[in-house]
Chain A
């Protein structure tokens, strides 16, 4: 399995990481090196094997559906780059 330059651009977009045209071929090489490494798994017989969903057998703990937290606006906003009136400020999302 290997990726071409278009696939690299598509993957970069999926990951929302800006990749310049100049960097794309180098990144393609690195990704393909890793994909080659994991190719060996194609030969493993996984017929009838369940994918691992829980590392250690555990029952998902439940609790009462009541509010036990909140009212900490200042803490939530404390590390934000840009805020206004209790909101995070970002560039326009919808045209």
Chain B
């Protein structure tokens, strides 16, 4: 009997439709895998009873020939999506006990299409982080073994709540990426503000997509930076990501930044020819002292696309190096506004105080972790009187320049841009939790440009580092042209060969 958790989402969908397997079987298989893998700390809340109920309902619909696009497929959900009656805390202490009386639009779309909810996935607190180390629930262990470690050593390290020495799956969607790579769900819905889907995808050898800003509704997502946040899928193959995104995406009257444009059939784009497409290689993404394995993989990616019929040209995106600092003005500024609502009054943690200001200050000091407090203070500072023009307004002008760079490249005939996904392979938990917060920020150097410009980005696994850890490549597309990204992503996946994910060592 095949291990049902090793199927791709597409394979599981097809077997469910042909009644070769039932949703109850595949859901149960995942619930068992989740229990065996609980020490990875990928899930912060599991919903086994709900999952089996949803699976039964899916099996009934399949029997009546009423199967939806995701019917019966077990999916994990990042903790920042409001799931009605279920733990939703964006992995923060300040939202202790919060169970929303409403469902986010993106997850409502999943359930509309028949998916089964396995539980809520670990993440950096309020999506602020690149390693899942800022979570109130502790770090997530990547299913990839650190170089030269054997399974016994890794299992011993799992026993430590700090997971020291094990690898981070990246962040902020660390739990989501680890769960997908470890086969604790078929796929996951995650979110990306500066790279939070794409960097974990690269670190764990899976596929991640951040669609165009406005492609998915943000209603019911715990907001971090409203002009940057976007929902997206994490999955083990390009086809799987395409299937999941199609269900997640779509117009929503409750989100005025959500595009009314209809959603394309992304799965149909997988397998199309790329003859005649032009791929741009931006020279400013070549950093000094770049890791040679990453540089080599980037060149190889260009070769694969050329071999499949695309034209590969050099392009210039001159304002690239300003994107990361500008992001660390814009994102904290927007966060300081979005997180002002966590004041101990209407939901979550409340610290006792004799006066209202004390209530706010004590609750927020106790409820927010160190990284969140840092960013909120930077945000308050750059928006404050006397500094607004020099910082926030200037950063928003630089954003216009960053977007214009991409528009100019696309106007020259480029259909998509190929870049590395991350400056390194996954690092160890605790390795960068250091003195300088900026060191962690540098993880996002290749990904933030895409959020700043509002464009779609796809990361696919493309090879391994010298230490045998996964490396990904990123494709950046025109606004609302996710189809081209899926077409190109499939070429990368076919050329590289399916990434062999680690066997189960944790149970």
Q: Is B401 in contact with A56, judged by CB distance below 8 angstroms?
A: no
Q: Is the CB of B437 within 8 A of A33?
A: yes
A88 to B390, CA, bound (A): 39
B378 smallest CB distance to A (angstroms): 6
Complex contacts, A44 vs chain B, CB 8 Å: 319, 322, 394, 398, 401
Alpha-carbon distance A63/B344, docked complex (angstroms): 33
Query: In the docked arrangement, what's the CA distance between A63 and B254, Å?
Result: 11
Q: Which of B334-350 contact A (CB under 8 A)?
A: 336, 340, 343-350
A31 close to B (CB within 8 Å): yes
Nearest Cβ in chain B — how far from A76, in angstroms?
8
Q: Which of B118-126, B168-176, B180-188, B351-359 contacts A (4 or more CB under 8 A)?
A: B351-359
Q: Chain A residues near B212: list those with CB within 8 A.
A: 56
B362 near A46 with CB under 8 A, answer no
Report the Cα distance A35→B438, complex, angstroms.
10
Find chain A residues with CB under 8 A from B328 CB.
Answer: 34, 37-38
Contact of B361 among A17, A31, A42, A55 (CB under 8 A): A17
| Beta-carbon contact of A41 and B325 below 8 Å | yes
Q: Which residues of chain B come closer than 8 Å to A66, judged between CB atoms?
A: none
Would you call the interface of chain A mostly helix, strand, loop, or mixed? loop
A residues with a Cβ closer than 8 A to B are: 1, 3, 7-8, 11-12, 14-19, 27, 30-31, 33-35, 37-42, 44, 46, 49-53, 55-56, 58, 60-61, 63, 72, 75-76, 78-82, 88, 90-93
* B interface residues, Cβ below 8 angstroms from A: 97-102, 212-214, 227-228, 253, 256-257, 259-260, 319, 321-322, 325-326, 328-329, 336, 340, 343-350, 353-362, 364-365, 368, 373-374, 376-381, 384, 390-391, 393-401, 403, 436-438, 441, 453-454, 479
Smallest beta-carbon distance B227→chain A, Å: 5
Nearest residue, chain A, Cβ from B342: A16
Q: A3-B381, A56-B212, A88-B346 are in contact. Are A18 and B364 (CB under 8 A)?
A: yes
Residues of B contacting A3 in the complex (Cβ-Cβ under 8 angstroms): 381
User: With A and B bound together, what is the CA distance between A45 and B289 in angstroms?
Assistant: 27
CB proximity of A74 to chain B, nearest CB, Å: 8
